[in-house]
Amino acid sequence: MSPQQRFLLLLILVGALATILGLVSRRARALPYPVVLAGAGVVVGLLPGEQLPHVGADVILLAFVPGLVFEAALTLDLPELRRRLLPVSLLATAGVVLTVLLVGTLTHVVLGFSWPSGFLLGSILAATDPIAVVTLLRQVKAPAGLAAILEGESLFNDGTGVAVFSAVLATIVAGHPSFGDATVRFFAITIGGAAVGIVVGFLGVALVRVAEEAPLEILATLVIAYGSYLAADLIHASGIVAVVAAGVVIARYGSSAGKLHGTQLLGFWNLLAFVLNAILFILVGAALPAWKLVPVAGLVIGTFVIMLLARAVPVYGLLVASGWRPPQIPWAWRHLTFRTRCRCSRSTTSRTPRGCCRRSSRPRATDGAVRVPPP
């Protein structure tokens, strides 16, 4: 079988598996579709014989992430997001920084990681997974305010989280890791990505406004999504921040021009996100080195507990701090925000060099039935 035929067979098998699992998930509502897909990928990875081909970080970032992030930004409820802008901003900025600092410190003190490795791990765990969050919210039909907080925070958090990861990794690779150098790199990466995304977004608005047919609008938004990522990546800025910025600009000003409301355009992006989501979860699950985790199970569990503690502090603390400005956030929403933030971003883990995170040499001892109250 030729490589081209093998690739086509892979797409057919993954598509068929995703379809079958989608039917299973609809009947078993206690199992969210992304969880079913990832679990199936893990099972496939454990099967004897030839495994699914490895998907590199470059392929994930270039082929999957821009489309998924742009679709999430395109469908944001911007009026509701403006009402919840304070908690979203706090979680996506101060929340990321606090998580990185807490995870880095606790993994160094408790697990014996070196300081650079601890903070690099913290930057990986600080980024949530907007793909899974958005999918689950649409399944449970969450209230508009809660959906705006979770979708907006997870989307912007993914951009800032990846920017923090890139800055921390760059300062480690440079050979002189320091907080000041990482901070400068973070602002450069984030501001550069946002600037590129805004410019590409407004150019895209002008392009969308002259597009009179749905196929042209679809093609234009595809160019905007992937073009903004590529443009930012070429100047070593954050491609994900650029895609988020471009998506928000298109959603805001494209909609005001009477565009982006057609069922064909939104239907295309919903279908594309579904396909990319299904393939990505299966491939990432299959690539998980499950057998290699057994010898370090204690370390994995300890890191998971540290992650829970590090995520709880910014979520509950910052949401309480945002309470001085209405509307108030119910405690049930805070609990769900904490639960949905306990996810690791594939955008950062896929970019971690092998063997980068090591301990220091000195030894040291949601589901479909959720009911959410309105505010």
109's CB contacts (< 8 A; 6+ apart) are none
Largest CA distance in the chain: 66
18-32, 34-48, 85-99, 163-177: which has the highest mean pLDDT?
85-99
Does residue 221 have a pLDDT over 50? yes
Q: Which domains does the chain have, with CATH numbers?
A: 59-349 (1.20.1530.20)
* Measured distance CA(225)–CA(204) in Å, rounded: 9
Going by C-beta distance under 8 Å and a sequence separation of 6 or more, which residues neighbour residue 289? none
- Tokens standing for 25? 């998930």
DSSP letter for each residue of 72-124: HHHT--HHHHHHTHHHHHHHHTHHHHHHHHHHHHHHHHHS-B-HHHHHHHHHH
If one compares 128 and 270, the residue with the highest pLDDT of the two is 270
Read off the pLDDT of each residue in 269-288 and give the average, rounded to a whole number.
81
Q: Give the tens place of pLDDT for each residue, 42-79.
A: 777 676 655 566 667 777 778 888 998 999 898 888 89
Per-residue pLDDT band for 196 (boundaries 50, 70, 90) equals very high
Let me know the angle formed at the C-alpha of 153 by 255 and 199, rounded to the nearest 5 degrees.
45
> What pTM does this model have?
0.81
Question: Poorest-confidence range of 116-125, 157-166, 350-359?
Answer: 350-359
- Nearest alpha-carbon partner for 339 in 148, 93, 133, 35: 133
- Please tell me the distance from the alpha carbon of residue 192 to that of residue 171, in angstroms, as a whole number: 18
- With contact defined as beta carbons under 8 Å apart, do 277 and 131 qualify? yes
Give the alpha-carbon dihedral of 59, 242, 94, 150, to 10 degrees.
-70
Structure-block tokens of residue 207: 């392009």
- Cα–Cα distance, 153 to 161 (Å, whole number): 11
Q: pLDDT tens digits, residue range 247-277? A: 999 988 876 555 555 677 888 998 898 888 8
pLDDT digits (tens, 9 = 90+) for 175-191: 887 888 888 999 999 99
| DSSP 3-state of 288 | coil
- Judge contact between 282 and 41, C-beta under 8 A: yes
pLDDT confidence bin for 225, thresholds 50/70/90: very high
